[in-house]
C-alpha cells in the first residue's frame, strides 16, 4: 500500500476503483521501453494521476492492476504519494483487461469502478454512479461521441440509455453509433464471476457482450450507458497524448499545475514547469509540460510538447509536438517536429 490521506465521506457509491495499467503501451514506443505510459507527464502531472483525479468521493482505495514496468509505477507512487491509498497488484504475465481486473479484485466493493489508466475525460463519476443506481443495471459505462469510431468499442443505445449491443473496433459500416466506450465504468461485483482465471481475458471482447442481457443474483439487469460531452481522449499515441494535454490545459484543470517559469524566459501559457528548470533566454509555450531539472538553452523554443525530467535543449533548437524522454539531449540548432525522442543509449526496440 502506498500513500495515505484523509478518507472521503461514505456516500454509498463504489469504495474501490480498479485501474488497469498493465499494457505495454506499444504505440508510444520507444519511450515506453523506458517509462510506462501512465507515468508520462501531461499538463503538469503524470497521466495516471489525471485518472485518479476522476474518482468520486465514495472511493476509499485505488487498486492498480499492473504488469509491464510495475516496479517503476510502484516507485513513483512511493516518491509521489497520492492522497488516497493505492494498492498495487502485479501480474506475472499479461492477463488482458478482464484477467487483470479479476486478478486485482480481492476484497473489491460492490459495486466497483473499472478505469483504463490512460484516459483523460470530463466525465462526472458522481453523476455516473447516481445514474447507475437509478437504472439498477449490472453495469454502467461512460460513453463519449466521436466521429471516427474504428479504434474503439462502440455501443448501440436503446431507451433510457440501455446498451443493446457492443462491438469492439468495428469497421465503419458495422459501427452501431458514434458512442464509444470511454474507458471508465461501474460494475456489480458478480461480474467478476464471469471472468475465467489463469489466462488472458479481454473484458471488452469476451465478457462485456455476455453482460448486455444478463442479471446478477440481486436482480440487477443489463448494462447502461452514461453519455457525456465536453472532452475525452485516450492518451495512447503521441498525437493523442499531446491532444489530451491541450484538452486538460484548456478545460480549467490548471489548479494543480505549477505555472511559475523562473526568471527571464518568454513564456506563453499554458505551461507547466517542474522544479529546478533553467529557461533563461528560451521561448516556452503554449501547451508545454517540463519535468524537473529541464534546461532550455539560450534561443531555444518549445511549443505543444512534453519534456520529461533532466532534458536539455541546446541553443537555438526548436521543438514542436514532441515528447522527449528523461535525460535526453537535443543538440543545438536542431528542429524537431512531431517526434518521440529518448536519450542516447536508451532502449530503442
Using the minimum distance from each CB to ligand GTP, give the nearer residue, 68 or 278: 68
Using the minimum distance from each CB to ligand GTP, give the nearer residue, 25 or 56: 25
In angstroms, what is the minimal distance from the CB of 320 to ligand GTP? 23
In angstroms, what is the minimal distance from the CB of 37 to ligand GTP? 6
Helices (H) and strands (E) in the chain, counts: 7, 26
Residues in the chain: 349
The 8-class DSSP code of residue 326 comes to T
Using the minimum distance from each CB to ligand GTP, give the nearer residue, 25 or 265: 25
Using the minimum distance from each CB to ligand GTP, give the nearer residue, 90 or 189: 90
Residue 176: CB atoms within 10 A of its CB come to 16
User: Residue 249 CA to chain centroid, in angstroms?
Assistant: 15
Q: How many CA atoms lie within 13 A of 33 on its CB side?
A: 11
In angstroms, what is the minimal distance from the CB of 121 to ligand GTP? 13
In angstroms, what is the minimal distance from the CB of 38 to ligand GTP? 7
In angstroms, what is the minimal distance from the CB of 302 to ligand GTP? 25
**Binding region for ligand GTP (CB under 6 A):** 20-27, 37, 65, 67, 91, 94-97, 100, 116-118, 236
- In order, the DSSP letters of 10-68 are P-SS-SEEEEE-----GGGTTHHHHS-GGGSEETTEEHHHHHHTT--TT--EEEEEEBT
Distance CA 60, CA 47 (A): 20
Using the minimum distance from each CB to ligand GTP, give the nearer residue, 96 or 265: 96
Amino acid at each position: 500500500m502506498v500513500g495515505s490521506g484523509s478518507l472521503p465521506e461514505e456516500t454509498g457509491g463504489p469504495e474501490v476503483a480498479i485501474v488497469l495499467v498493465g499494457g505495454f503501451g506499444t504505440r508510444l514506443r520507444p519511450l515506453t521501453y523506458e517509462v510506462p505510459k501512465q507515468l508520462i507527464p501531461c499538463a503538469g502531472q503524470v497521466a495516471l494521476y489525471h485518472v485518479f483525479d476522476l474518482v468520486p468521493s465514495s472511493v476509499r482505495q485505488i487498486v492498480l492492476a499492473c504488469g509491464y514496468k510495475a516496479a517503476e509505477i510502484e516507485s513513483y507512487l512511493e516518491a509521489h504519494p497520492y492522497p488516497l491509498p493505492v494498492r498495487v497488484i502485479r501480474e506475472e504475465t499479461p492477463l488482458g483487461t478482464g484477467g487483470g481486473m479479476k486478478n486485482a479484485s480481492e476484497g473489491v466493493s460492490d459495486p466497483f469502478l473499472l478505469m483504463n489508466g490512460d484516459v483523460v475525460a470530463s466525465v462526472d463519476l458522481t453523476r455516473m454512479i447516481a445514474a447507475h443506481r437509478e437504472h439498477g443495471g449490472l453495469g454502467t459505462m461512460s460513453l463519449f461521441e466521436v466521429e471516427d469510431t474504428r479504434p474503439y468499442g462502440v455501443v448501440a443505445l436503446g431507451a433510457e440509455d440501455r446498451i443493446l449491443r457492443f462491438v469492439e473496433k468495428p469497421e465503419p459500416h458495422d459501427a452501431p453509433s458514434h458512442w464509444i466506450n470511454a474507458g471508465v465504468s461501474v460494475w456489480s461485483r458478480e461480474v467478476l464471476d464471469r471472468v475465467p482465471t489463469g489466462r488472458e481475458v479481454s473484458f471488452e471482447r469476451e465478457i462485456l457482450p455476455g453482460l448486455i442481457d444478463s442479471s446478477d443474483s440481486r436482480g440487477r439487469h443489463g448494462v447502461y450507458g452514461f453519455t457525456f460531452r465536453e472532452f475525452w481522449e485516450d492518451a495512447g499515441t503521441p498525437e493523442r497524448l499531446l491532444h489530451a494535454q491541450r484538452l486538460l490545459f484548456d478545460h480549467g484543470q490548471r489548479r494543480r499545475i505549477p505555472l511559475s517559469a523562473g526568471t527571464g524566459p518568454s513564456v506563453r501559457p499554458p505551461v507547466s514547469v517542474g522544479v529546478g528548470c533553467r529557461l533563461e533566454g528560451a521561448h516556452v509555450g503554449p501547451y508545454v509540460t517540463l519535468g524537473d531539472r529541464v534546461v532550455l538553452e539560450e534561443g531555444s523554443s518549445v511549443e505543444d510538447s512534453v519534456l520529461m525530467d533532466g532534458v536539455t535543449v541546446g541553443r537555438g533548437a526548436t521543438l514542436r509536438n514532441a515528447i522527449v524522454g528523461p535525460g535526453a539531449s537535443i543538440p543545438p540548432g536542431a528542429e524537431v517536429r512531431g517526434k518521440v525522442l529518448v536519450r542516447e543509449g536508451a532502449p530503442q526496440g
